[in-house]
Structure 1
Amino acid sequence: MVLGLDGTWNTPDQQDRDRQCPSNVVKLLRAIDTRQSDVEQLKYYDAGVGTDGFVDKLWGGIAGRGLFGNMRQAYVWLLENYRIGDQLFLFGFSRGAFAVRSLVAMIDLCGIPKRVDYSYDFMDVASEAARIYREPIKTKQKRMAREFRNRFHAVDATVTMLGVWDTVGAMGLPTQGLLGKLTRSQHQFHNTRLSKNVRHAYQALAMNEMRRPFEPALWRGKCPKDVETVEQVWFPGVHGNIGGGYADAGLSDVALEWMLEKAANHGLTLRPNYLINRVDPNPFAEMRDPIRPLYRSLMIGRPRVRRIGSGAIGEAIDLSAARRWLAVSRPEAPPANFLVDSQRGRNFQRRAGEYAHVEQAITESALEPEIGPEIGQLNSQQHVSNRSRSASNRTNSHSLATRTTSSHF
């Protein structure tokens, strides 16, 4: 089961420079093979906040309105479709990444109900789980979660892979001034620490993003013992260059290719033709100025360079950044201490705070490692449940739960 939550203002048919330019969440879901795989691969998509007209675009963009609803709708889809033993793959970009990480934590706390009486509406059940998740008093929260699990016979669910592009901290909200006061209280409950029900966690981060409200949310602190892999890799580009949505998708396709490779390694079957025709990574592609007129008029705080090498779990810089640094006419200098992820994560150093100091010039020979087999060849093992089930009948203009590839999606 594959679930994707998109970023602010992102939709499958969004335009940039008169071209359809979907985000990496959409492209990853479209790359999943739902027809040729020996096992059933269900997928769900929900567009980002701020996609329902001008008012929603303004308030959703400024205050993150709608994120909480997106989480509940995704939880409902899991209630309708999850079967014990299914593998869960969850992906998100920007605020959608924040929402999907919060959803994972909510699943860890409340589980997924398996016996819901017909007198209950699934959305009401999801709302109750969300209220428990929001409860600030931990002792009360644990009691409420235990009662919820007992009443609905909720089961634990393991997340095989959690993949996110550039999670924004505080849901991408202003943290200072009047807007900060208006939005802080309703969004401060979100817990984005890595949950113990995750097995493999990956995050692609934007090296060159400087907008203050887009402060990245990295996984920090002690890694839960059941988590097998944590990789947080910095890629060249600003926020949209990592998560997609620009006409020139060269940089975002670098981060997409990295995530697709991880997903294939963990059991997803992908469409080779889609990968060949729609994914074209280029570390030397255009780096955009993300400050649009609407955002510029609401600019809060001065630009701030993101801190790299701050001791987060599994932190590294992708090889594409080193290649770009050597090649561009106005190089973006890397930090003094960093680890170049030269094998795209295969031989990743996992200890938190483990970096290699670059004391000499990086030669071109050092930048040509053996990357490994093509993504299309990485599907030798399948782990997703092959149990047949009926597809969810819940659809709306911005959400899609499907068993096959839709012409729209």
Structure 2
Amino acid sequence: MNVCLFFEGTGRGVAGKMTNVTRLRDLCVDDTRQKLHLEAGPGTHFGSYLAGKIAGVDWRTTFRSARRWFEANYETLPKDGIATAVFLFGFSRGALIARHFAAWLDKLGVAVAYLGLWDTVDAAVGLDVAADLPRNVRRARHAVSRDETRKFFQYVPLKGDKAKVVEMLFPGSHSDVGGLYDDNHLVADLALAWIAAGAKREGLRFRRTARLSQKLDATAVVLHDAHGESSNLWGAFDRVRRNLPRIRLHFACKGL
């Protein structure tokens, strides 16, 4: 039995553009043996996307909603020896909440089979999470943007035993890696496939029609400088190059 929670980025999901989080959810089998739950990003529940961005307070609403769903569903699972595997996924501030959720499960003594993240950022949410992988997480993958420069979008590292956690660098901005741009999905698709491959190894079940590849035509890739986001609220602040010590670039991205 798999229990899977997906945390979208700020303002994404129900009322906004979908990212790799929702795309991954849509590739998964949804039946009695694999329960799926998608949480719209912080700011979506808040009623004001901009207010959620500025205040950074809506993560609590997202977390509580996910907690209620998990408690209601986890308690109804069969207790006749059938193993339950918990999968958590998130992008941007949704990744931050997914990590907080994993830490909460650790306090309950609930193991997490897999934690899949796209470019964890704080960005004024006000939610502190430890850099170290929670003890209850068996495996984790973190896709990190190489070229994001917005000061408020500095990535939050994920550290731990190399046998358990892998961070991988992908070219492009924060939203390139998370799958937010409509004009070019090549890097986003690659980051999606890499996260999905790790989840499949841990038992996540995909639809037969799901097609994921970790190959890339580098000549067709379009990378963005935070795209139109550079002119919005977050782009108005200072730029700073990310400190990315010893994170390997995905093998398909050499030369980009």
Q: TM-score range by the shorter chain?
A: 0.7 to 0.9
> Is structure 2 residue 148 aligned with structure 1 residue 209?
yes
What is the CA distance between 1:272 and its match in structure 2? 3.2
Q: Which residue of 1 aligns with 2:137?
A: 198
Q: Which residue of 2 aligns with 1:128?
A: none
Contact 1:257–1:281 (8 Å) recurs in 2: no
Separation (CA, whole Å) in 2 of partners of 1:5 and 1:70: 8
Q: Which residue of 2 aligns with 1:33?
A: 29
Contact 2:230–2:236 (8 Å) recurs in 1: no
Change (3 A) 1:188 1:232: same
Q: Which residue of 2 aligns with 1:8?
A: 10
Contact 1:91–1:163 (8 Å) recurs in 2: yes
Contact 2:194–2:214 (8 Å) recurs in 1: no
> Is structure 2 residue 118 aligned with structure 1 residue 165?
yes
| 1:26 partner amino acid | T
Contact 1:59–1:65 (8 Å) recurs in 2: no
Change (3 A) 1:257 1:282: farther
* Rg larger for: 1
1:217-243 C-alpha deviation (Å, 9 max, x unpaired): 1123xx37xx84210000111111111
What is the CA distance between 1:281 and its match in structure 2? 5.6
Q: How does 1:168-179 map to 2 (within 5 A)?
A: 168=121, 171-173=122-124
The number of residue pairs the alignment matches comes to: 246
**5+ residue gaps, structure 1:** 16-21, 112-155, 174-182, 326-409
Normalized against structure 2, the TM-score is what?
Answer: 0.86
Q: Which residue of 1 aligns with 2:98?
A: 100
1:306-363 C-alpha deviation (Å, 9 max, x unpaired): 12225xxxx32211321x43xxxxxxxxxxxxxxxxxxxxxxxxxxxxxxxxxxxxxx
> Is structure 2 residue 10 aligned with structure 1 residue 57?
no
> Is structure 2 residue 244 aligned with structure 1 residue 308?
yes
Say which is worse superposed, 265-274 or 209-218, in terms of deviation. Answer: 265-274
Contact 2:133–2:165 (8 Å) recurs in 1: no
Q: How does 1:109-124 map to 2 (within 5 A)?
A: 109=107, 111=108
Q: Which residue of 2 aligns with 1:383?
A: none
For 2:72, which of 80, 96, 107 is the aligned residue?
Answer: 80
RMSD: 2.6
Separation (CA, whole Å) in 2 of partners of 1:65 and 1:295: 23
SS of equivalent residue, structure 1 residue 213: helix
Instruction: Give percent identity, aligned residues only.
Output: 27
Change (3 A) 1:300 1:104: same
Separation (CA, whole Å) in 2 of partners of 1:163 and 1:100: 9
> Which structure is higher in strand share?
2
Separation (CA, whole Å) in 1 of partners of 2:231 and 2:49: 12
What is the CA distance between 1:30 and its match in structure 2? 0.7
**5+ residue gaps, structure 2:** none
